[in-house]
Structures are given as C-alpha cells and as structure tokens.
Amino acid sequence: MPSLTQNLTEIFEAAFTALDLPVQHARVQVSGQGQDAQFQCNGALACAKPLKKNPREIAQSIIDQIQNCHPDQGDSRVEGSKKDPSTTDLRSFSRDDIFESLSIGGPGFINITLKDEYISAFLGKLSTDENLGIEKHSDAETIVLDYGGPNIAKAMHVGHLRSSIIGDSLRRLYDYAGYHTIGDVHMGDWGTPMGMILSELELMKYDGEITMEMLAEIYPKASAACKEDEGRMALAREATRKLQDGDTEYTKRWREFIDVSIEGMKKNFDALGVHFDEWKGESDAHPFIDPMVEDLKSRGIAYEDDGALIIDVSKEDDNKEVPPLILLKSDGAVLYGTTDLATIIDRMKSHVPKKIIYIVDQRQSLHFEQVFRAAKKGEIAPGINHVELIHAGFGTMNGPDGKPFKTRAGGVMKLEDLIEMGIEKATARLDEAELAKDMDEEERKDVAHKVAIAALKFADLQNNRIADYVFDIDRMTSFEGKTGPYLLYQAVRIQSLLKKAGIDKHIDAPYKIEDADRELALLLGAFPDHFKNALKHNTPHVLCDYAYKLAQEFSSFYGNCHILSESDEVSKLSRLKLCQQTHRQLLTILELLGIQVPERM
C-alpha cells in the first residue's frame, strides 16, 4: 500500500499535471522539526525560476487546483463508508475530508495539515497491512550479501563485528521487502596465511589433531617468522602454491584447520545471532580462476605488464588515479582481487543475482572499485552488466582515544572478549536499574545476553555506516538515551501495558485520533517511508533513528494522556490500538536490526 506521503504526492502530482507544471517537483514530505505544518511540498519554488513567475503565486494556484478538484471516484461513496474509517479506501476521500489546511509559507512552500479522520483511516489500513505497508518484491530477484568475512586462523575482531552486524541487518531488510537473499560469509581461507600454517606444522613435524588454541598460537608465530626471514617466507609461499595446486596431503591438513576454525567462528556468530546461507570462502573461487584468466587474456582485456598480468580499469573522467587490477603476480600467484573477480563468476552462475552487496571496511573501497570495473569491462559472466555491484563500506570502530579499538594492553580486541564484556556490563546495568529481579538464573542470563547484544548492535547500526564511531561500553549499555537497551525497555513496557489491559490479539476497532494522539499517529504512519529509505541506501541507521523517535514519542504520549483510565470507550480502544501498533512497529524494526526482545524485564 502507498505510504501517507505517497498518497499526498499523488494528489499533488494530479494538480501539477493539470497546471502543466513539471510533475517531478510535486513530492510531499514530512515537515522538518519545529514547523507548524505536518507535511510540505516545496515544488512551487523549483517551478518558479524557469517559468519566471512568483513562487507564491504558483503555490496558490496549486492549492486552488487541489481544493477545487473532485476526484472522479465518487465522493458520494464516502458518506456511507465513513462510519468505519479504517476500511475506507483512502482514494475515495474528498479533498475537504483530507486536508485540514493548505497554506503558503515563506517564499512559497505549501504547508499541509491533515484531517484527523484521514490520519485515522490511513493508520487503520497500515495496522491491518501484513507487511506494514511495504510491498513485497517479487521473489524472483536475488540479492547476494557478502558479510562477516572472517579469516581462517585469525581471531575475529571488531572489524568483522561491524561487517556481521550491518550485513545481517541488510539481509533482513531485503528479506522483509520480499527479495530472495543469500548471505555468504566469504572467509579468507586461501592466501599465504594458509601456507604459513601448513609450513609451520611441517617444521614442527606435527601430525596430531589441530585445535583452535593451537591455531591461535601457530599462526602469529609463523607470520612473525615469515616477516623476519625471507627463507621462511619462501617456504610459506611454496606451501601455498602446493595447496592451491591441489596437493592431497596439504589439502587434507588445510581442511582440518578450516573445520576447526569454522567451529570457532560459528560460536561467535551464534552469540551475535548472525546467520549465513553459505559458508563459502576465497578458496571456492579457485576453480573459476584459470578459465577466467585464460578468457580475459584471449580477449585482450588482461595483458602482461612487467611480468604481471593486469587489467587496466582506469577511466578517462577519473579524478583520482585508479590503478590497474593485478590478476597474477609475476610469480604466478593470485591476489585478493583475482579471487573476488572469480567469486563474482561463481555467484553469477549459482544465483543470477540482481545485486551483490559487499559489507566491507570502507578502507577497501579502491579494491572494490577495481574489481567492479574489471568485472564489467571484462564481461566476466553473462548478464554481469545488469547486476548492481555495491560496496556498502563502513568506518572504523575507535577506542576513546580516537584510534582503532584495542584491548587495554594494546592488542587486537577479540570479538568473543568484546561480547563477554558486553554481557558483564549488561548484567551490572540490570542490577543497577533493578530489572530482571524476580527471575531465575537462566532467564536472567538470557535477558542479560539480549541486552548486551542489543547494546552492541544498536551502538553500531545507529551510525551512518561510513562514519567512524567511538566504542563506549558505558553509554551503549545504558537504559537511557539513544541505545539498544532503552528500546528494549520501551518495547517490554508496552508489552506489559497491553498485558495489563488484557489484550492478546489485534484490536479490531477504528482509530480516533485526537490532540494527544496526533504526533504518535503521524510518526507511526511514516514507517514505510523510513523503511524504503533505509533499503534504498543500504543504511540501517535510518531505521535506528526512526525507532528511537518512535520510542520517545510513545513516552510522551504515554505520559500525556489517559489510556487505561480513559472513560470514553472509543478513545480508550483507539489509544490501546496505538500502543499495539507502536509495539508491533518497534518489534519489527528491532527484528530488522537483528535485535531480540525479552518477554519481560
């Protein structure tokens, strides 16, 4: 169903068309803060210049046109159906029944205020809509999301946390919009680090079982040794080459530590509630590399330069240098860009996606620029030119010193330690706020875990993903302010209010929007716009902002009007229905952010 602003935009578009004004300027949007009107259309200003007319005059003609126009869908029908606004077709409202006022503000804005009956009717429709006003996209379109990106044998760190959290949320958004989504963890399981471990095991003459603890020790040791000693590095390279050439013994060993490593990763991802459909890695691209390289060479797209095989991806209108993508180094080794290109071929073959979205550190933006250009220029797979390749980059999570987040000792902060830290803090916060007091140990633990994950995820997602942010465990776990725990608390509070009112199913009564309800009602009605905005730009923070506003608005609504004590039965039911709708929307958004809400707190 169209959103409130879409409905209004349609009305304005009709007026613009009738007046021969460019219809793209007819867009209606929610008014900015502190403005008297609920909505605005600023199109008259944009039309005025080319027409050399006074914008206020144009605005007046638009208003006149709207007020004098009677949509052909009989206004007469409205009378009969008006008794139950929630089932009334919004399009059959007459203009007089829609607009409380249309007025000109400033140099020529059109200020729009709606009739409460119209808001009630819209919200009634939204409340019965299964998908909260979001049209389900046809299931045929597939979106591949590449997130998580942990590396074998290395501990997952805060960078992987960001990728996992944002990627998981984006996957949920696309799911909600009806796309078919594939989340791929895309592990780093194929480069020189693999050879470092293999050669280290060989030097140790170790052929026993491999454990995670062991890997955690071996890898840093091997990596340090390789850095220091060219000869040692040569061994690692040789082992990598042998592995990539399919050496049986090495492949078996490699498989062993991959499995151990994945087990460790899964623990982290489970704790976060992050899921993947595919557990693929760079190694899965391997079979596609040789044929791809041959093909690109034969068509002259890839050529030799200084012994290496490269693809020139620069464009004439580049304003910064985009260096060529190196497919093969002079020693024949493949690079990160090579596996990423080959992975696109794999994904095209298995999924024929509409978009491939990479949720990866913003510092890799040049890498993705090169890969995307090479993929399109080299037409590496049929249909590639119809696929949207998107790098949804994110900034760094910094410590209080403004530098990338580290442990107190200055080491890399492991993801599992970070989660543990969150749980500890969340437990303390629950104690402080005297919440979860009368729960048994198991439920308390569960609530603390949910609070901790809500804190971590919301603190991350609420920032525009490109921006860096400061990790502040005290602030993010607080039950006050723009935090995950605050939203959980509000959701649970509404839950218990509804329980107290004895409501356990959808309230089937019309809304009756009055002064005390209007702000909340309008905000609830804006969900579809915010959702679409978040989806369009792959920016979950838009939903975080909205959820926070909604929770705050609910708080003032709750404080300012009678609900359970309301004597007018119709108003009381309408308000309870507003509570129910707020609860439903908060839960939906938290779910979209990957945040679980406890039954009680």
Residues in touch with ligand ARG (CB under 6 A): 146, 149, 151, 186, 188, 340, 358, 360
Give least dist CB 343 to ligand ARG, A.
Answer: 6
Say how far apart CA 348 and CA 191 lie, in whole Å: 23
Give least dist CB 21 to ligand ARG, A.
Answer: 47
Helix (H) or strand (E) holding 522: helix 518-525
Give least dist CB 359 to ligand ARG, A.
Answer: 8
Nearer to ligand ARG, 40 or 339 (CB): 339
Nearer to ligand ARG, 18 or 335 (CB): 335
Nearer to ligand ARG, 235 or 360 (CB): 360
Residue ranges of alpha helices (H) inside 273-377 are 286-298, 336-351, 365-377
Give least dist CB 240 to ligand ARG, A.
Answer: 16
Nearer to ligand ARG, 146 or 517 (CB): 146
Give least dist CB 395 to ligand ARG, A.
Answer: 14
Residue nearest to ligand ARG (CB): 149
DSSP 277: S
DSSP string covering 559-580, please? HHS-STT-SSHHHHHHHHHHHH
Give least dist CB 357 to ligand ARG, A.
Answer: 10
Nearer to ligand ARG, 43 or 264 (CB): 264
Nearer to ligand ARG, 13 or 460 (CB): 460
Residue corresponding to tokens 């492991």: 414
Helices first, then strands: H and E counts in the chain: 22, 13
DSSP string covering 200-230, please? HHHHTT--S---HHHHHHHHHHHHHHHHH-H
Q: Are 506 and 136 in contact (CB under 8 A)?
A: no
Give least dist CB 217 to ligand ARG, A.
Answer: 20
Q: Are 409 and 482 in contact (CB under 8 A)?
A: no
Nearer to ligand ARG, 108 or 149 (CB): 149
Residue corresponding to tokens 């760079």: 282
Give least dist CB 336 to ligand ARG, A.
Answer: 7
Q: Burial level of 114, CB count in 10 A (0-12/13-18/19+)?
A: buried
DSSP string covering 454-479, please? HHHHHHHHTS-TTS-EE--HHHHT-S
Nearer to ligand ARG, 63 or 144 (CB): 144
The widest CA-to-CA distance across the chain, in whole angstroms, is 90
